[in-house]
Amino acid sequence: MTEIIDLLAIDNLLRFLVSLALSIVLGIAIAFVYKVTHKGLNYESSFLSTIVLLAPIVTLVMFFIQGDLVLSLGLVGSLSIIRFRTPIKDTRDMIFLFWTIATGLGIGTLNWTLSMISTAILAVLMYLLFIIKYGRSKHNEYILMISGQGEFNESMVDSLIEKGIRKVYLRSHEIHSNRFDLVYELLFDEKDLDVIHGFIKEIKENKNIEKISLLSPQLNLPM
């Protein structure tokens, strides 16, 4: 009851409203950085709403705690039972969640200036890493799956190396009565993608081949 009375005081109420508004603004800024720098097929628009809402929620929790040790321990206990319905596939999403939580904690403890400066610095850093493509491999990995009936001339695949493909590995070769299933792992530069498409058109002319699949083993397909 005392905390509620303190919160209703003019100064405290003003700090609370400013903190809540600032956390929403910074949450929107973080969500915008996520949207701009995200590449891949596992994009979920609902994650943006999560980022925007998480910052003011953490700020609200910090105002409720206000240095109370018992409430702090209770918060830790309640967070320990939270489970995500679906696992977070991209570790980058986890970074944005921690970033949003840290921002909410900073604003909730009235460290407004520090929260704004740190958010700006991290936003610039995220964008720079995105622009320079930091950590991205210069080579592409793909899985080539070929299936059909009769016999398949494997020398056709070996000719890929002569055409400039960096590496070609035979990962699986299964034969079922009159059927065959081949799985190859290809490693090539991005500029060599046209070579792969040309090769696929070439082996499609083989009457024994029924299906050709080119898959990416990576979580985020190159855009």
Summarised one tens digit per residue, pLDDT across range 86-100 is: 555 677 888 998 999
pTM (predicted TM-score): 0.65
Task: Look at residue 20 and tell me if it is in a domain.
Answer: yes
Alpha carbon of residue 39 to chain centroid? 8
pLDDT number for residue 184 = 81
Residue 190: which CATH number?
A: 3.30.70.260
81 & 187 share domain: no
Q: Are 8 and 78 contained in the same domain?
A: yes
Do residue 97 and residue 36 come from a single domain?
yes
Q: How many other C-beta atoms can be found within 10 angstroms of the C-beta atom of residue 220?
A: 16
pLDDT at 143: 83
Per residue in 42-85, pLDDT (tens digit) is 667 788 898 999 999 989 888 888 756 566 666 656 655 555 55
Give pairs for 19-22: CB < 8 Å, separation 24+: 19/59, 19/63, 19/107, 19/108, 19/110, 19/112, 20/56, 20/59, 20/60, 22/107, 22/112, 22/115, 22/116
Instruction: Answer for the pair 180, 174: CB distance below 8 angstroms, yes or no.
Output: yes
Same domain, 38 and 110: yes
> How far is it, in rounded angstroms, from Cα 76 to Cα 84?
16
Residue 147: strand pairing partners: 181, 211
Residues 98 and 163 in one domain: no
pLDDT at 7: 53
- Structural domain count of the chain: 2
Residue 56's domain spans which residues? 2-131
Q: Residue 66 corresponds to which tokens in the numbers above?
A: 């206000």
Exposure string (b/e) for 17-34, b if CB count within 10 Å is 16 or more?
Answer: eebbebbbbbbebbbebb
Range among 17-31, 81-95, 188-202 with highest mean pLDDT value: 17-31
pLDDT bucket at 11, cuts 50 / 70 / 90 = confident
Q: Is residue 9, in this structure, part of any structural domain at all?
A: yes
Q: Is pLDDT of 222 > 60?
A: no
Higher pLDDT, 33 or 11: 33
